A and B are shown apart, each in its own frame.
Chain A
Amino acid sequence: NAGVTQTPKFRVLKTGQSMTLLCAQDMNHEYMYWYRQDPGMGLRLIHYSVGEGTTAKGEVPDGYNVSRLKKQNFLLGLESAAPSQTSVYFCASRYYRGRSEAFFGQGTRLTVV
């Protein structure tokens, strides 16, 4: 049982380049989330999804797009990377019912130069 897997683990981008971060979960969870974490700070929610084909904005959505074409995958896209998007990105998923816990991936460390 792999849980939540993020790809890639590290990436360096030049300003203006685009890329997609992949999050895959094998727990059949309905809810999925993308967070970013800047140095010395807590995680902030970028976008989330409550089911296949649905997405919604979180606290800091600007500059990012997401897609949830398959239940197990949640993609985070950067259309034109900026240095301000240098951060560690975490994906999470959880079961929709009750007070279930969220499971997090190991993170993607992105540097935009």
Chain B
Amino acid sequence: DAKTTQPTSMDCAEGRAANLPCNHSTISGNEYVYWYRQIHSQGPQYIIHGLKNNETNEMASLIITEDRKSSTLILPHATLRDTAVYYCIVRPGGGGTSYGKLTFGQGTILTVHP
């Protein structure tokens, strides 16, 4: 699986958009970008994933550059409850021999301030 690089920490004001970057320059054609977050040592929670098109769901938006070497997770209106560690993970889509295994880095600690 491709390696990802994320900033160690970021701050955001409540109500503003939080933009979390991720570099994955070695991503291959069949690999998807996944985002999970972990709130205060709870189990990680899935946020969103994408291949090459931008994606949006009720939680966030995912913007993937045209060359797919980087992406940005956007929380449009951050709240205090969005304070968490955010993990960007690259892995092949589908089952196959990867069997859906996730390789976690250290992630980005996002702190949302009042």
Residue B105 interfacial (CB < 8 Å): yes
Q: Given A97-B95, A98-B93, does the pair A33, B42 have CB atoms closer than 8 Å?
A: no
Partner-contacting stretch, out of B20-28, B44-52, B60-68, B71-79: B44-52
Minimum CB distance partner of A91 in chain B: B43
User: Residue A71 at the B interface, CB < 8 A?
Assistant: no
CB distance B41 to A107 under 8 Å? yes
B92 to nearest A CB, angstroms?
Answer: 9
CB neighbours of B34 from chain A (8 A): 101
Say which residue of B36, B94, B99 sits within 8 Å of A48 (CB atoms).
B99
| Residues 69 to 111 of chain A near chain B (Cβ within 8 Å) | 88, 90, 92, 94, 96-107
**Contact of B49 with A101 in the complex, beta carbons under 8 Å:** yes
| Option from B41, B42, B43, B99 in Cβ contact (under 8 Å) with A50 | B99
Contact A90 B44 (CB under 8 A): yes
Binding site for B on A (CB under 8 A): 4, 31, 33, 35, 40-45, 48, 50, 56, 58-59, 88, 90, 92, 94, 96-107
